[in-house]
Every structure is written in C-alpha cells, then in structure tokens.
Structure 1
Amino acid sequence: MSLSPDLNERLARARSDLRMGLPVVLENADGALLLAAAETLSADRLGAMRDLGRAHLALTARRAETLKARAYDGDLARLVLPDDADWGWVQDLADPADDLARPMKGPLVSLRGGDASLQRLGLTLIKSARLLPAGLCVEVGVGFAATHGLTRLDAVESAHALEALSVLDHVVSAKVPLRASEAARLHIFRPEDGSEEHYAIEIGRPDREAPVLSRLHSACFTGDLLGSLKCDCGPQLNAALGQMGQEGAGVLLYLNQEGRGIGLANKMRAYALQDQGFDTVEANHRLGFEDDERDFRLGAQILERLGFNAVRLLTNNPAKIAMMERCGIQVTERVPLKVGHTPQNERYLAVKAEKSGHLL
C-alpha cells in the first residue's frame, strides 16, 4: 500500500489548508488555478497572490445578486480585482456583515467567457470547509503546487468526490439511558472523507421488517444545547425522542449539518443579518448560500446500515420525505412534529412555511 494520500485525504487536507488561510491548487486539462478562501486570507498572502498575475474573486450567484454584480457564469461570478483593491475590499465583498453600512462597493467588473469549472469546484470546496463561499483566484502554471509545497487537486476526480456521498463507517455503539427511554443505544458513524461524524439514537429494539418511527434531526447547538428561542429545534429533538420512548421503539438520526449545512459560524452570521431585518432565507442568500445546503442522503445511508428500509417519518419538511424516497427508503407515514413555537421564532417559522415549504 502506498503511503501517499488518496483523494479523500487530499480533499481533507485541502479543507484544512483553506481554513488555515493557505491556498490550494486546482488543475484540469486546460491549466491550474491557485485558490484561497477569502474569509481566512491574510493581507500578506493577498499581496503574494497578486504578484503572480491577474487575480479575481469567485463568488456564488447568490452573493453576486446582493452586490449587483454580473454572474455571467450562471451560478457564480468572477470579479476582477481593481488595481487599488486591498484586503478590506476582498473582505467586504465576501462578508455581508457591513453591506448596509457600506452599500457602495462598485463598480464591479465581472469576467465573461472562458471556462469557470475550476472556480466552481473551488467554491464547492470552500463551502465544504464551512467557510464563506468566496475565493481569491489566480491562474498559475502546472507544477506550481509541487514547487511551493501546496495541496494539488485534480478537478475532475475532485468534483466527482465532492458530489458523491461519502461511505459512512459504523464505529461503535453502546447503551446510553436517556430521560426519554432507558432502553437507548447510541451509534457513531464516521465518513471516510474525514468530514463530521453523525449519530443514530436507537430506542428499544425496532422491528427491521416494519416501518420504524424515525426523525432526521440536524444538529443545532443553539437550540439543542442552549435552549434558544429563535428556532424550534430543541423542542423537536426532545419531542421526537419522547414519542419514540412512549412507543418503545424508534431511531433518531442526529446529523452534524449545523445551520442547514453552512456551519455554526455562518449560522451566526445569518443571525446577525436577521438582526438587521432580513429573514432566514434572505440572510443565507446574502452570505452566498442556498436556502438549504444539507444533504439528507446521509440519513438514508444510516438507516440502511442499521437494517431499515421503511420509516414513519417525524417531520414537517417535504424535502426530507422526497430524499428518503429517492434513496430507496419508503416513507409510509408523515408524522407531524409541531412544537416549540415562541414569540421569538414566529417570523422564522412563517418563512419556513412560505419559502421552504414546511408543513406548519
């Protein structure tokens, strides 16, 4: 067996590099692109990258729309860095925190024509690192990564790997008596791509031949642990476990997809934008994200690994039902879960119903 890192290991290394402020190199048959995450980019490294050639900033179309910039590439925009652009200019375009205080950021010139596939891959990679989806880009020559000791990724195989669902390995399970049920067992699943672990809480001994009462619950640090009144996550978690305990059987899948898949830091950025008057969907868009970046395929894979092929799904979200069905998990019943309504989350829940189709 070779000691060299495989693709998953190189992708994990690339995510870590980007989070540390270190650029990575993306290569395809047409050339190579030096990419740094705008959020973690230092002023010194910005200068070093600009010395290499004409730099541009890749942003998602969602962020470009907020900035009134042309997204000629459809799902993304490539903005030319003006000669006088400094670190603050890059940060202002990447982070919407001060959009209202400093609304004039132009004129912004977008590149058009040519292949934007490397930039598209770069934004996907940056998102997977739970950073703001904005990347500083400079075209470099093949061999640049080796010369400078940087992580190099082949674009074709990397794009396929980032789109594919990583295999989840069952690490361990053990009994964990809970308030909802003393007959509970916690299963730990670890993705082979080095991303976050996910958990399954099994109540009792559910019949594998019958539809199991189940919930796909996305991690919510503020709601589940802190008791935040801005969302209904904590009450949903406890109510789902409570109902499983009453019935004596069930499986709750606890998926580490904080903030609808954008990570806790970006979720707090969205909260700060909500304080400025934007709703939860508008805040996500201003940050450069889609309404919901979660991957519910994870839940289907865990259910299959545990031996289930049919569920009674505790959810108000039709998207979860649709994804379970597409992944081969039969949803025999939708079990409503309407709890946790507070004066503080009234608007949030209304937006979930109006814009995200939740059945509230």
Structure 2
Amino acid sequence: MSLTPDVTEIIARARADLRMGVPVVLCGDAGAVLVMAAETLDAQRLADLSALGGTPVLAITARRAATLKARAYDGDLARVVLPPDARLPWVLAVADPADDLKTPMKGPLTTQRGGDSGLHRLALALVKSARLLPAAVVQTISDGAGFAARHGLTSVPLDTAAPKLMQTSPLHPVVSARLPLEVSDAGRLHIFRPEDGGEEHYAVEIGQPNRDTPVLARLHSACFTGDLMGSLKCDCGPQLRGALAQMGAEGTGVLLYLNQEGRGIGLANKMRAYSLQDQGFDTVEANHRLGFEDDERDFRIGARILSLMGFSTVRLLTNNPAKITMMRESGIQVTERVPLKLGKNTHNHAYLATKAAKSGHLL
C-alpha cells in the first residue's frame, strides 16, 4: 500500500528518533539490536536497556577508538563492552572527547571480536547522518520486529537501509526567484530539496550563463560562523563574498551553497572540534578525536545540482583538488581551476597550513 513508508522515509524517522533520544530497532539476517545515540541517551533509558540483560556495547568509529587506545577489531569501528556498573557519565566520556585531556585513562576498554558487526555499522551511519556524535549504545535483542511493535519503535532493515545511507539522496528543484544582490542585480536563487528529508541546498545564479560553455562555478559549504558571523578562524566568509564578487564582475556564474556545515559534521560537532582546537589539536586531529574523518562532505550533491540546472562543464573556483576529482567522477567536466586565495589572518594561519599539509589544498 502506498501509505506505508518506504526505506528512505523509515531512515528519516529513525534519524529524528535518535536526535530526540528515542531508541530504534535495527534488523538483519544475523538478528536484531536496540540502538540509542550516546549523545542523546538519558540515565533512565540506559537503565531500561541494562534491564534487558545481555552484553550492551558502545559502537564507536575506528578514529575514536584510536584516540582511546581501544582495539577496532572490525576495521572501521570498535564495539566497546559496557562494564556491568557503567552509568551515563561513563558512556558520555567514551563518546565525547571534551574531557580527554583531564581524564585520559578511560580503560582498559574491552572490545568485542568476531561475530557480525553489520548492525553496529548501520547504527553509526544513522547517528552520523543525524549530525550527532558518532557513538551508539547497541544491545542485541530477540524478535526485533515484535520488540519494535510492542514499544512503538521505528524498525530499520539492514539490507535496504545500509546501501541507501551510502548513496547521495536524489534532489528535486522546489522553487527559484529573482534575487538582486550587491554584486549583481541579475541574481536568482534556486532551492533544491533531497528526498531523504535532509537539509535543502541552494544555487545562486548570476546573470544568464550559457549552458553550452564552461560556467564559473563555486561549491561552497555552509559556514554559519564564517559566512554570517565573520569568524576569523577560517577563510569561508571571504571566499563566499570573493566568489560572488568575481561572478558579478564577469556577469555570470553559479554559486552552490551546500548545507554541509563543518565539513559535513554539523554545527554542534564543528563547535566541539573548535573546543578541541583550543586544547592544542589541529582541525584534522580534532575531527579524528570526535570520531569523524578529515572531511565528511559529499560533493556529488553539487554535481547533481549543476546537472539539474543544465550545466555540464565548469570553471571551478576552488583551492581543493578533491572537489575537482569528485566533479569529474560525477560527470561534470572541469575545464579550469580558478584559485580563490582570500581571508588569511593571524587567527587562521595554522588552520590554513593544516588544510594545505593534510587536506591537499593549493594555498
């Protein structure tokens, strides 16, 4: 029946539940598990989970496990066994690196080895997609579908949900309207909405670019602190304004404003990374301590928007070779890399040096 939610809609439900602290059930061929996001877990639900019996684990990424000196037997993740007397502060201390330097000894941590970790991997993918800390409390249960029905919980199937989370959600144009800008009164804003219930993305079109010739284009990831607040910790604000100014001067261009704050980890996690930077870690090290990769963004979104707008070739305003590679792999031809070197100051020189040394930016 068409009224029944499909797997994309089930994932969106599960994502919202986890953000609110509501457990979800994940089901696969190897069994079923009850999952709660560590960040939104409360003491009562942790006690209720413990009352189910069994051996609950805290699933964390290999990046976080490396910081904690925990063995990641599953390669990309570790299943840390919760001690019998584990309480909420213990779970949060393992999941969140905020106090790592104050209390570095959290172990010894015992991690599970062997068995199927597919459901744990799906649990981490879900909490990451919800822009939460990449850590989830996981408890094996029997009769997953029945348990979910009895408790009114969302049940997520592994076989269809896991591949879906690896894909870029299809995008659809919602509306576009004229938007006069300081750099050009011939501006137009296009809104694109993903099918998975995620954040919308925008395209600012300057003038009337010819679809048959390379358009000056910029993939700009949202940066609340830099774009709006004028933060000096990054170069995002100057790059945004500089790209628009260059398009205005040329008379045409397309700036894609992608809602992938903090290199795709969300504003809250980005602020956590900033706090770790204040402790002496660089931007990449901070991301790793949180449990994220260097860069979690998906530039395929930008390629899809360009295609929907009728563009197939671009002159890309960027210092990041990874963007060029992703554009080409996604079917967008990059005929020229146009440098965009703006915004260097005394507060962000270390940040920019890290971008060059560890992320390959051409600065």
Q: What do residues 137-175 of structure 1 show as CA deviations (whole Å, max 9, x unaligned)?
A: 000112211111100010010011111111111000000
1:277 matched residue in structure 2: 280
Amino acid in structure 2 at the alignment position of 1:40? T
Query: Is residue 2:255 matched to residue 1:248?
Result: no
Q: Which of residues 320, 325, 328 in structure 2 aligns to 1:322?
A: 325
Matched with 2:13 is 13
**Which stretch has the larger CA shift, 203-212 or 141-150?**
141-150
Match of 1:136 in 2: 137
For 1:25 and 1:153, locate their aligned partners in 2 and report how far apart those are by CA, in whole Å. 6
Ranges of 4+ aligned residues in structure 1 off by more than 3 Å: none
Q: Does 1:95 align with 2:96?
A: yes
Residue 230 of structure 1 pairs with residue 233 of structure 2: yes
Unaligned runs of 5+ in 1: none
Partner of 1:221: 224
Q: Confirm whether residue 117 of structure 1 aligns to residue 118 of structure 2.
A: yes
Question: 2:39 is paired with a residue of what secondary structure?
Answer: helix
Q: For residue 79 of structure 2, what is the aligned residue in structure 1?
A: 78
1:48 alignment counterpart: 48
State the Cα distance separating 1:285 from its structure 2 match.
0.2
The alignment's TM-score, normalised by the length of structure 1, stands at 0.99
C-alpha separation in 2, matches of 1:19 and 1:307: 36
Cα distance per residue 1:74-128 (max 9 Å; x no partner): 0000011111111000000000000001111011000000010110011011000
What amino acid does structure 1 have at the position aligned with 2:116?
D
Match of 1:291 in 2: 294
Q: Report the Cα offset of residue 3 of structure 1.
A: 1.7
Deviation at 1:289, TM superposition (A): 0.2
Pick from 152, 156, 170 the counterpart of residue 153 of structure 1. 156
Matched, 1:175 2:186: no
Instruction: Confirm or deny that 1:353 pairs with 2:356.
Output: yes
Matched, 1:262 2:256: no
What code does the residue aligned with 1:8 have? Answer: T
Q: Counterparts of 1:30 and 1:206 in 2: how far apart (Å)?
A: 53
d(CA) in 2 for partners of 1:205, 1:92? 53
Supply the distance in 2 between the matched residues of 1:126 and 1:148 (Cα, whole angstroms): 21
Describe the superposition over 1:218-247 as per-residue Cα deviations: whole angstroms up to 9, x where unpaired. Answer: 000000000000000000000000000000
Q: Distance in 2 between matches of 1:147 and 1:89?
A: 29
Superposition pairs of residues 14-33 of structure 1, within 5 angstroms: 14-33=14-33
Instruction: Determine the C-alpha separation between the residues in 1 that align with 2:101 and 2:118.
Output: 32
Mean CA deviation greater in 251-260 or 45-54: 45-54
CA offsets 1:326-359 (integer angstroms, 9 cap, x no match): 0010000000000000100000000000000000
- Which residue is equivalent to 2:345? 342
What whole-Å deviation, never above 9, does each CA across 1:279-320 have from its counterpart, x for those lacking one? 000000000000000000000000000000000000000000
Letter of the aligned partner of 1:92 in structure 2?
A
Say yes or no: does 1:185 pair with 2:188: yes
In structure 2, give the amino acid aligned to 1:78.
Answer: R
Deviates further, 69-78 or 141-150: 141-150
Q: 1:163 aligns to what? A: 166
Paired with 1:140 and 1:92, the residues of 2 have a C-alpha distance of 25
User: Residue 307 of structure 1 corresponds to which residue in structure 2?
Assistant: 310
Separation in 2 of the partners of 1:200 and 1:313? 14
Residue type at the aligned position of 2:242: A
Q: Which amino acid aligns with 2:140?
A: E
Runs of 5+ unmatched residues, structure 2? none
Shift of 1:37: 0.3
- What SS class does the counterpart of residue 343 from structure 1 fall into? coil
Q: Distance in 2 between matches of 1:75 and 1:7?
A: 24
Structure-2-length-normalised TM-score: 0.98
SS at 1:57's partner residue?
strand
